Structure 1
Amino acid sequence: MSVKIRLIKWFDDVFGRLLVVMGRALPYKELEVPVRRILVIRPGGIGDALLLLPLIKSIKLKNPTLHLTLLAEKRNSAVFSMCHFIDCVFCYDKYGELCHALEASYDAVIDSEQWYRLSAVIAKCTGAAIRVGFASNERSYLFTDTIPYRFDVHEAINFNNLLTPIKDYLNDPQLTFDNLIDIPADATKSAELLLGETGHSSFVVLFPGGSVSEKQWGAENFSYLVERLDAEGLPIVVIGGANELLTSSVVLSKAQGINLAGKTSFHETAAVIAKAAVVVSGDSGVLHLATTLGKPTVSMFGPSDATKWAPRGKQHVVLNKALYCSPCSWFGQIPPCPYGVRCMTEISVDEVEQAVLTLLEKNKPRQQMP
């Protein structure tokens, strides 16, 4: 987790409660017209942003003239830039853009943040007549309508429940999970150049990194997996950020593959994943990106709650040891592990390899009978 993100969370914890109290005194207006302008607030990482897309598109699909603004964060704004159904994207951690967002007028605000308070304060500052958010702590005082935050359902369902209070003001919004992001043509072309001949084969994408070390399966495990898959004749592509160059080199230390760590933008990463046969990752934004693009995945879960975050469906294999201490993540915070993160280290290379081969066989194009 970056220093900047830690600082924001510290500020929220120290000053957030005070701002909530102050925010309750701000005036608000009554809704006089049908909902025509909506602000959706989504801080946080890429995974949460992707899981929010079905809700956002469902609003716009049946209400095409409605103006929809997204207040994001720099680290997840690239997701929303690929969505043609979003009219405007601002970043709350860019002061000028935050000011522009607050200068606009909204009939309704949907705050999709699960725990931290600052986004609720921003929602209140808009003066919107309808403000919807999760009732997870004192932040609920700043909303006109609250939704219970549930731990027993997938996070996409929690997000979709936020739509309930404003359904009566919209034209029958119905959830859709199709065509949620559009990959730019130039990103696809760049991906094709980077992949070369590998792009025309059934290759496997591996993402060994992630923003939280406890969620990672480990570079050494991935290196043994590459060795196994290479022996099966499967091309390997490793992706990651510029800060994961060392990790990616370890992953490819036992066999050859294409190392794209630090070489692709978010859009280009999406284009690479869109061409993959299977994607292997821990709980990460890359995993949710692959799911959004409809790609088969093998994922390893330990500290995270698979019930809330794991992909659903027959084309996804979720490996989870379900130890007595797992999951331990609480609103994104993982405590120090006294057991050496056994929930991840006990997932074997054999299990992951077999899952990959099973998915490849299941999704192999069927030959037509002569």
Structure 2
Amino acid sequence: MKLCGSNVIEVFYSKHGDPLEIYPRFCFDESMVLSPAAPCLNKGVSLLEQLEKNPESSVCFLRTYALGDILLLTPIINWIRDKYPSVKVYLATVPKFMGLFKYWDAIETVDKRNLPFIPYEIGYYLDGVVERDHSGNEYSYKHRLDIYCEFLGIPQIKDPMFSLPYGEIEKSWAEGIVRELRDCGKPVVAVQVAGSTAIKSLSLDKVANISERLCDICSLIFVHEAKEYFGEINAMNLTGMTDIHQLAALIDSVDVVVTMDSGVLWIAHATKTPVIAMLGPTREAERLKYHRNYVAVNLSEMVGCEPCFERMTRCKGAINCMKSSSAEEIATRIEEGIKKLVYS
């Protein structure tokens, strides 16, 4: 870890040739840049060192993409609030995520473009940090929360608490929808219809085939940030119709969430909703280690492969885990999972 000792924004270049803007007093992963020996760089300061030195610090985390990886910071923020209650925490991000924590007083979210006007003492550049798990080395066997903790130099959090609060309006709206569906006498299940990337997603046709089976045993709600269409399937289609807090309230209200590797998986960590996770290129241990009530459907195993963390080393880009896995077998595993999570 290196600390930017400059008084101005310094621009470095990543090993892929992309420019990285490092703000004053920000620590970052030196292995990400081509010139880690620049004169403006000093030895990094771990978060634990900073908090022990000044228990009333103001700390800024910068993370600009991936909903799930931003939510993975919430156990760290809760840990700070528990151990160092006088610390001020900022999250610097992009406009898309500015309202994410509007119901949570543990953190102040700021536009990264306004960082020069934010009174932080030290910052941590977190874009790219948890993506170490794509490397194929020991990081591919670590949970992303543990990777964050290691980078920040804090202890591994034994019983992490994820957070995504929502308001009374969202709560009332979600409970009303679920109450209406429960009148049918079946469990209410939310289905996230796509993963966070194409490599982690089943085709919509396969999702539709699986869902037709599930309609026999539960009431379904389709969710996704973009609008999708599913023809005559007997399900409530809310894709493209919810904001993040409505989605969190909905996930908190249903009996089970069925999802691929996506932000919805991490929302379910925050709401503690039982999860059935369809995982292809990612592993159960690295995605579900800190969820206490889940069933994992291992799609790689179905096709005789193993999780590659999106490197596609064995399938050479064919993504067999997502494309060749059997919809019938997946539906059977999900049905078994619903029975286990709801009735046992």
Which band: TM-score by shorter chain? Answer: 0.7 to 0.9
Kept in 2, the 8 Å contact 1:83–1:181? The answer is yes
> Are positions 1:71 and 2:92 aligned together?
yes
TM-score, normalising length from structure 1?
0.70
Question: Given the alignment, which residue of 80, 90, 93 partners 2:110?
Answer: 90
Query: In structure 2, do the counterparts of structure 1 residues 33 and 58 end up closer, same or farther at CA, with 3 Å as the change threshold?
Result: closer
CA positional deviation for 1:189: 2.1
Kept in 2, the 8 Å contact 1:78–1:267? The answer is no
After the TM superposition, which residues 244-323 of structure 1 pair with which residues of structure 2 at under 5 Å, given as runs? 245=227, 248-250=228-230, 253-310=231-288, 312-313=290-291, 315-320=293-298, 321-322=300-301, 323=304
Kept in 2, the 8 Å contact 1:283–1:310? The answer is no
Q: C-alpha root-mean-square deviation of aligned residues, in Å?
A: 3.8
Q: Which residue does 1:212 correspond to in 2?
A: 197
Query: In structure 2, do the counterparts of structure 1 residues 337 and 91 end up closer, same or farther at CA, with 3 Å as the change threshold?
Result: farther
Query: In structure 2, do the counterparts of structure 1 residues 302 and 359 end up closer, same or farther at CA, with 3 Å as the change threshold?
Result: closer
After the TM superposition, which residues 153-164 of structure 1 pair with which residues of structure 2 at under 5 Å, given as runs? 153-164=142-153
Deviations 1:296-327 (A, max 9, x none): 11222223344433455562222222454741
Question: What amino acid sits opposite 1:298 in the alignment?
Answer: I
Kept in 1, the 8 Å contact 2:175–2:253? The answer is no
Question: What amino acid sits opposite 2:110 in the alignment?
Answer: F
CA positional deviation for 1:205: 0.7
**Larger proportion of strand:** 2
Query: In structure 2, do the counterparts of structure 1 residues 314 and 349 end up closer, same or farther at CA, with 3 Å as the change threshold?
Result: farther
> Are positions 1:114 and 2:154 aligned together?
no
Kept in 2, the 8 Å contact 1:42–1:70? The answer is yes
Q: Which residue does 2:173 correspond to in 1?
A: 190
Alignment partners' CA distance in 2, 1:365 and 1:249: 31
Alignment partners' CA distance in 2, 1:29 and 1:343: 40
Alignment partners' CA distance in 2, 1:150 and 1:100: 35
Alignment partners' CA distance in 1, 2:337 and 2:198: 27
Question: What amino acid sits opposite 1:55 in the alignment?
Answer: I
Alignment partners' CA distance in 2, 1:111 and 1:327: 26
Query: In structure 2, do the counterparts of structure 1 residues 230 and 71 end up closer, same or farther at CA, with 3 Å as the change threshold?
Result: same
CA positional deviation for 1:28: 9.4
Q: Which residue does 1:151 correspond to in 2?
A: 140
Alignment partners' CA distance in 2, 1:355 and 1:164: 39
Q: Which residue does 1:46 correspond to in 2?
A: 67
Alignment: residue pair count = 308
- SS at 1:110 equivalent: strand
CA positional deviation for 1:219: 1.0
Query: In structure 2, do the counterparts of structure 1 residues 33 and 328 end up closer, same or farther at CA, with 3 Å as the change threshold?
Result: closer
Identity of aligned residues (%): 19
Query: In structure 2, do the counterparts of structure 1 residues 285 and 178 end up closer, same or farther at CA, with 3 Å as the change threshold?
Result: same
Question: What amino acid sits opposite 2:334 in the alignment?
Answer: V
Kept in 1, the 8 Å contact 2:222–2:239? The answer is yes
CA positional deviation for 1:51: 1.8
Question: Given the alignment, which residue of 233, 238, 252 partners 2:222?
Answer: 238
- SS at 1:65 equivalent: coil
CA positional deviation for 1:59: 0.7
> Are positions 1:56 and 2:56 aligned together?
no
Alignment partners' CA distance in 2, 1:343 and 1:71: 36
Question: What amino acid sits opposite 1:259 in the alignment?
Answer: N
Deviations 1:46-68 (A, max 9, x none): 11112221111101112212111
Q: Which residue does 2:101 correspond to in 1?
A: 80
Alignment partners' CA distance in 1, 2:213 and 2:329: 12
Unaligned runs of 5+ in 1: 1-8, 118-133, 138-147, 168-172
**Larger proportion of helix:** 1
CA positional deviation for 1:362: 2.8
Alignment partners' CA distance in 2, 1:263 and 1:42: 26
Question: What amino acid sits opposite 2:208 in the alignment?
Answer: S
Alignment partners' CA distance in 2, 1:14 and 1:339: 24
CA positional deviation for 1:195: 4.7
CA positional deviation for 1:211: 4.0
CA positional deviation for 1:347: 2.9
Q: Which residue does 2:120 correspond to in 1?
A: 105
- SS at 2:296 equivalent: strand
Moved more, 20-29 or 274-283: 20-29
- SS at 2:86 equivalent: coil
Kept in 2, the 8 Å contact 1:55–1:163? The answer is no
> Are positions 1:346 and 2:324 aligned together?
yes
TM-score, normalising length from structure 2?
0.74
